[in-house]
């Protein structure tokens, strides 16, 4: 591999107060639906912090990369063009699907705590026993057509499916390694090929998740430590022992090559995960060499080896301030697991899911919402129903979400608690759920969660001149009465919200 070229590029020095994977208190917030907010609230918008969510150029410091990546070499204009569809899309479907959907959270008659796709590690299942799941995998009810149609109905613009998770099982036709869905199961079909065809037909973008570093069934693959596993290798079965470079060269890199070349225009996203110390800059550079051959590709910040990729990936939380200067995507589960668990019925409400989407859009990010098909290939009905409901809201109100810019206000999202602290000792961010805002060139959208009993929405010192207003869900877009007094504007609202979850007030504006 060529490591001769070198470059000095820049690193975003913005310091994150919440770790990438740690859900900290956020999961708790986001699972809480604030039901006991006083019903009589005057919603007041104060614009204090213009542009705090804009993607401004961050403070930078140099990083050395053995092979420069596309992000190191392209211009800002090229980056904007490459990221355009992703930034506009706002909402994607994450699909965690693999052999773990067979045990579905139960092993040897015991319910295994934790996320379903981690069952092999969490229950210390020996390699041979786990591999024996493959001949039992026959998801005959899998329909790429239906899954893509569901994503479309939900208003999602892209999907990312696990091509290989940490268990090492490839959900695609791989010549590089026979532990895959085509060679090792009675199913024999390639779901990635079928999804690619349907995405092409139905106008959906398709990306692949690939666990490049952890691989619990390939000799030499990495493992995160859980339980009483070996303190150095973190392995729990000698069949996992081996040389990381030979894993990288005989499995991961060949499979990444296959994924990048077997599916025509797809993938448009490669979603790496959980780099360990094994993913050194030189090893990551070998993967970057492959990625560089696909100049429109978008890839996340989890490759490792000091590469920052295109996107920040807060997992199971929404960053209170977004990630100034970076593209970002919150990935979140719809219940409490990524991979299917038969007994996880802890589904988030449509209200919570929609608030998350709106909250994320108001901070300039994307929402990658996960579903976990079962061992027959079916997305559980409780998940599909929720997606349909979100889609209904977006069919009416999508204009406020897609291709929108972040809020011009800021304090409406919440505030740091003067008393409560999170794990790291930083002040805890307490979200507020009265309203959010998104922006377009000549419009300000106010997504109202808590309908004001006062009958009006009050704006103090609006950042732009408000010329007229209406509700997006009002089919006639009847103008609402505006009262301008001094430096504030009052918008009269009907007595009842048009949508119990979020009603969008549109303000036409001029500068
Ligand atoms: O694919 C999903 C997760 O399986 C994956 N990322 C998302 C998108 C992921 N892998 N690792 N992590 C996230 C973070 C690791 C958390 C851990 Fe644990 C805490 C590993 C050991 C302790 C969670 C709890 C997993 C096992 C026990």
Determine if ligand 1 sits within 6 Å of the CB of residue 338: yes
Q: What span, in angstroms and rounded, lies between the C-alpha atoms of 163 and 145?
A: 18
C-alpha to C-alpha distances, 492 to 43, 390, 472, 474, 511, nearest whole angstrom: 11, 27, 15, 14, 22
> Which residues make Cβ contacts (< 8 Å) with residue 355, sequence separation at least 6?
433, 449, 501, 502
How many beta carbons lie within 10 A of that of residue 156, not counting itself? 25
Among 486, 482, 488, residue whose Cα is nearest residue 469: 482
Among 202, 309, 207, residue whose Cα is nearest residue 260: 207
Residue where a domain stops, chosen among 368, 400, 432: 400
In a domain, 5, yes or no: no
Q: What span, in angstroms and rounded, lies between the C-alpha atoms of 323 and 18?
A: 11
Percent of the residues in the chain that have a pLDDT greater than 90, as a whole number: 86
How many beta carbons lie within 10 A of that of residue 6, not counting itself? 11
DSSP assignment of 273-308: ----TTS-HHHHHHHHHHHTT-TT-EEBTTSBTTB-
Across 249-271, average pLDDT: 98
Residues 334 and 456 in one domain: no
Ligand 1 centroid distance, CA of 114 (Å): 9
In a domain, 248, yes or no: yes
Ligand 1 centroid distance, CA of 307 (Å): 20
In a domain, 417, yes or no: no
Residues 212 and 264 in one domain: yes
Give, using CA atoms, the residue closest to atom 9 of ligand 1: 274
Residue where a domain stops, chosen among 400, 415, 445: 400
Across 254-282, average pLDDT: 98
C-alpha to C-alpha distances, 473 to 111, 394, 448, 500, nearest whole angstrom: 45, 10, 12, 12
Residues 220 and 351 in one domain: yes
Beta strands in 337-413 (DSSP E): 366-371
Q: Sorting pLDDT into bands at 50, 70 and 90, what band is 345? A: very high
Determine if ligand 1 sits within 6 Å of the CB of residue 187: no
Percent of the residues in the chain that have a pLDDT greater than 70, as a whole number: 88
Give, using CA atoms, the residue closest to atom 27 of ligand 1: 114
Q: Sorting pLDDT into bands at 50, 70 and 90, what band is 91? A: very high
Task: Give the domain CATH number at 469.
Answer: 2.60.40.1180
Give, using CA atoms, the residue closest to atom 17 of ligand 1: 224
Determine if ligand 1 sits within 6 Å of the CB of residue 271: no
Count of domains for the chain: 2
In a domain, 318, yes or no: yes
Q: What span, in angstroms and rounded, lies between the C-alpha atoms of 367 and 202?
A: 21
Ligand 1 centroid distance, CA of 225 (Å): 10
Angle between helices 381-397 and 144-153 (to 10 degrees): 40
Task: Judge whether residue 48 has pLDDT over 90.
Answer: no
For 428-475, the pLDDT digits (tens) are 999 999 999 999 999 999 999 999 999 999 999 999 999 999 999 999
Ligand 1 centroid distance, CA of 172 (Å): 23
Ligand 1 centroid distance, CA of 16 (Å): 19
For 201-214, the pLDDT digits (tens) are 999 999 999 999 99
Task: Judge whether residue 30 has pLDDT over 90.
Answer: no
Task: Judge whether residue 378 has pLDDT over 90.
Answer: yes
In a domain, 105, yes or no: yes
Look up residue 374 and give its two tokens. Answer: 């079962």
Determine if ligand 1 sits within 6 Å of the CB of residue 114: yes
For 349-359, the pLDDT digits (tens) are 999 999 999 99
Residues 157 and 194 in one domain: yes
Pocket test for ligand 1, best of 94, 99, 118, 125 (most atoms within 8 A of CB): 118
For strands 298-299 and 269-272, give the pairing.
parallel
Ligand 1 centroid distance, CA of 315 (Å): 10
Task: Judge whether residue 482 has pLDDT over 80.
Answer: yes
Q: What span, in angstroms and rounded, lies between the C-alpha atoms of 337 and 115?
A: 5
Q: Pick the more confident residue, 31 or 71.
A: 71
Determine if ligand 1 sits within 6 Å of the CB of residue 412: no
The whole-chain average pLDDT of the chain stands at 90
Determine if ligand 1 sits within 6 Å of the CB of residue 331: yes
- Which three-class secondary structure string do you get for 464-505? CEEEEEEECCCCCCCCCCEEEECCEEEEECCCCCCCCCCEEE
Pocket test for ligand 1, best of 171, 223, 224 (most atoms within 8 A of CB): 224
Determine if ligand 1 sits within 6 Å of the CB of residue 447: no
DSSP 33: -
Residues 88 and 209 in one domain: yes
Residues 159 and 295 in one domain: yes
Residues 273 and 323 in one domain: yes
Task: Judge whether residue 395 has pLDDT over 90.
Answer: yes
Q: What span, in angstroms and rounded, lies between the C-alpha atoms of 183 and 171?
A: 10
Residues 392 and 451 in one domain: no
pLDDT at residue 44 in the model = 55
For 54-86, the pLDDT digits (tens) are 544 444 555 789 999 999 999 999 999 999 999
In a domain, 409, yes or no: no
C-alpha to C-alpha distances, 142 to 112, 340, 504, nearest whole angstrom: 26, 14, 37
What atom of ligand 1 comes closest to residue 209's alpha carbon? 1
Provide the residue range defining the domain that includes 491: 423-510
Ligand 1 centroid distance, CA of 48 (Å): 38
Q: Pick the more confident residue, 17 or 193.
A: 193
What atom of ligand 1 comes closest to residue 370's alpha carbon? 8
Look up residue 145 and give its two tokens. Answer: 């057509």
Token pair 């952890």 is found at 214
What atom of ligand 1 comes closest to residue 273's alpha carbon? 6
Q: What span, in angstroms and rounded, lies between the C-alpha atoms of 74 and 70?
A: 6
Quote the Cα angle for 446-452-458, to 5°. Answer: 60
pLDDT at residue 19 in the model = 39
What atom of ligand 1 comes closest to residue 271's alpha carbon? 8
Task: Judge whether residue 37 has pLDDT over 50.
Answer: no
Across 372-389, average pLDDT: 98
Dihedral of alpha carbons 96, 99, 102, 107, sign: negative
Q: For the whole prediction, is pTM greater than 0.75?
A: yes
């Amino acid at each position: 591999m060529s490591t001769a070229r070198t470059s000095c590029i820049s690193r975003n020095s913005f310091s994150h107060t919440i770790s990438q994977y740690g859900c900290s208190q956020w999961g708790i917030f986001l699972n809480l639906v604030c039901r006991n907010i006083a019903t009589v609230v005057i919603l007041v918008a104060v614009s204090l912090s213009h542009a705090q969510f804009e993607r401004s150029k961050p403070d930078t410091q140099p990083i050395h990369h053995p092979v420069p990546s596309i992000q190191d070499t392209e211009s800002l204009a090229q980056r904007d063009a490459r990221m355009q569809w992703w930034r506009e899309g706002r909402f994607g479907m994450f699909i965690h699907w693999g052999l773990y959907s067979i045990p579905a959270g139960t092993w040897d008659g015991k319910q295994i705590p934790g996320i379903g796709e981690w069952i092999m590690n969490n229950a210390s299942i020996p390699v041979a026993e786990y591999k024996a799941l493959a001949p039992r995998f026959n998801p005959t009810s899998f329909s790429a057509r239906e899954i893509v149609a569901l994503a479309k109905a939900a208003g999602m613009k892209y999907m990312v499916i696990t091509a290989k998770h940490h268990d090492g099982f490839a959900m695609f036709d791989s010549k590089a390694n026979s532990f895959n869905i085509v060679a090792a199961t009675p199913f024999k079909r390639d779901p990635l090929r079928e999804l690619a065809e349907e995405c092409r037909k139905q106008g959906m973008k398709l990306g692949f998740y690939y666990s490049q570093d952890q691989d619990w069934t390939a000799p030499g693959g990495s493992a995160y430590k859980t339980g009483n596993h070996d303190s150095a290798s973190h392995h729990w079965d000698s069949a996992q022992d081996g040389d990381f470079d030979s894993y990288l060269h005989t499995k991961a890199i060949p499979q990444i090559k296959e994924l990048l070349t077997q599916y025509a225009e797809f993938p448009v996203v490669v979603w790496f995960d959980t780099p360990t110390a094994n993913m050194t800059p030189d090893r990551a550079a070998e993967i970057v060499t492959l990625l560089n051959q696909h100049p429109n590709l978008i890839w996340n910040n989890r490759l490792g080896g000091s590469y920052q990729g295109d996107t920040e990936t807060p997992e199971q939380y929404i960053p209170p301030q977004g990630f100034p200067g970076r593209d970002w995507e919150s990935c979140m589960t719809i219940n409490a697991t990524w991979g299917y668990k038969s007994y996880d019925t802890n589904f988030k409400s449509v209200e919570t899911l929609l608030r998350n989407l709106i909250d994320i859009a108001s901070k300039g990010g994307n929402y990658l919402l996960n579903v976990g098909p079962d061992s027959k290939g079916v997305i559980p009905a409780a998940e599909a129903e929720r997606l349909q409901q979100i889609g209904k809201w977006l069919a009416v109100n999508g204009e406020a979400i897609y291709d929108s810019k972040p809020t011009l206000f800021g304090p409406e999202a919440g505030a740091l608690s003067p008393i409560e602290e999170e794990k790291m000792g930083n002040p805890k961010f307490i979200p507020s759920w009265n309203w959010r805002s998104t922006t377009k060139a000549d419009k300000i959208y106010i997504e109202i969660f808590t309908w004001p009993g006062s009958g009006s929405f009050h704006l103090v010192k609006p950042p732009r001149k408000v010329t007229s207003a209406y509700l997006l869900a009002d089919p006639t877009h009847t103008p609402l009465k505006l009262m301008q007094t001094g430096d504030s504007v009052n918008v009269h609202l009907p007595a009842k919200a048009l949508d119990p979850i979020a009603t969008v007030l549109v303000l036409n504006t001029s500068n």
